């Protein structure tokens, strides 16, 4: 029996990047259908939550995601450009955001085709692993889409022509995340039970095994 789960994911989240390839590999090895549910980064979704906490939080997040990457043996470097246009000194979010809406719409368009997890697992490294500068230009995204089994020109056209509907689906993903009992990413949800964080992949698998997870 194929088990089904959702993965709530942000293209701006280093923790999402650290998790998505492992979930993709799990879905390849096991009879498991994971639907990628793209959400906007909390920096644009709800900046008040992001910026009203302890000022030490951003420093800790940077330290911890780099440490987690080293522990997992996954290369990580801050994106060039950052998917969110932001003054890191003041933490002010720019009104004009040319990158994040585009990449989120592309991700949701991939999900419409049943290839969202594969798309995110191919795109996240070119944003986060430090090997690609100007990941949004040239053929970087097109090549990632091809590796995910998708036609990038088709995705790009849909992201432009059906932007409003895609944005509505992305907003729906955010609401579904809240209904599942969390607000952050990555959050893996199986039968209504959320597993938040890149450090919950093994625990999520443990729960799936209790539900009969079997190899393909």
**pLDDT interval class at 58 (50, 70, 90):** confident
Please report which residue ranges of the chain form alpha helices under DSSP H.
Answer: 14-29, 42-45, 47-51, 57-72, 100-112, 116-128, 140-147, 152-161, 163-179, 201-210
pLDDT in tens, 70-88: 999 999 999 999 999 988 7
Give me the residue spans of the domains in the chain: 3-210
Distance CA 4, CA 80 (A): 34
Tell me the pTM. 0.95
What does the alpha-carbon distance between residue 131 and residue 125 come to, in Å, rounded to a whole number? Answer: 8
The mean per-residue pLDDT over the stretch 158-177 comes to 98
CATH number of 3-210: 3.40.30.10
Indicate whether 150 pLDDT > 60.
yes
In angstroms, the CA 85 to CA 44 distance is 10
Compute the distance between CA of residue 123 and CA of residue 152 in angstroms, rounded to an integer: 12
Residue identified by tokens 């368009």 is: 109
């Amino acid at each position: 029996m194929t088990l089904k789960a959702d993965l709530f994911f942000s293209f701006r989240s280093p923790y999402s990047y650290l998790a998505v390839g492992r979930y993709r590999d799990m879905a390849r090895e096991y009879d498991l259908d994971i639907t990628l549910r793209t959400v906007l980064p909390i920096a644009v979704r709800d900046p008040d939550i992001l910026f009203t906490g302890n000022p030490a939080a951003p420093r800790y997040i940077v330290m911890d995601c780099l440490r987690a990457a080293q522990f997992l043996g996954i290369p990580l470097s801050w994106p060039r450009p950052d998917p969110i246009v932001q003054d890191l000194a003041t933490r002010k979010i720019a009104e004009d955001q040319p990158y994040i809406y585009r990449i989120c719409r592309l991700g949701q368009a991939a999900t419409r085709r049943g290839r969202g997890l594969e798309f995110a697992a191919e795109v996240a490294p070119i944003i986060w692993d430090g090997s690609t500068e100007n990941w949004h230009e040239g053929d970087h995204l097109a090549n990632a889409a091809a590796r995910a089994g998708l036609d990038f020109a088709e995705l790009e056209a849909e992201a432009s022509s059906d932007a409003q509907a895609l944005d509505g689906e992305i907003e729906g993903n955010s609401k579904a995340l809240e209904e599942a009992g969390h607000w952050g990413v990555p959050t893996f949800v199986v039968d209504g039970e959320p597993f938040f964080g890149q450090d919950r992949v093994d625990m999520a698998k443990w729960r799936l095994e209790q539900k009969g997870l079997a190899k393909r």
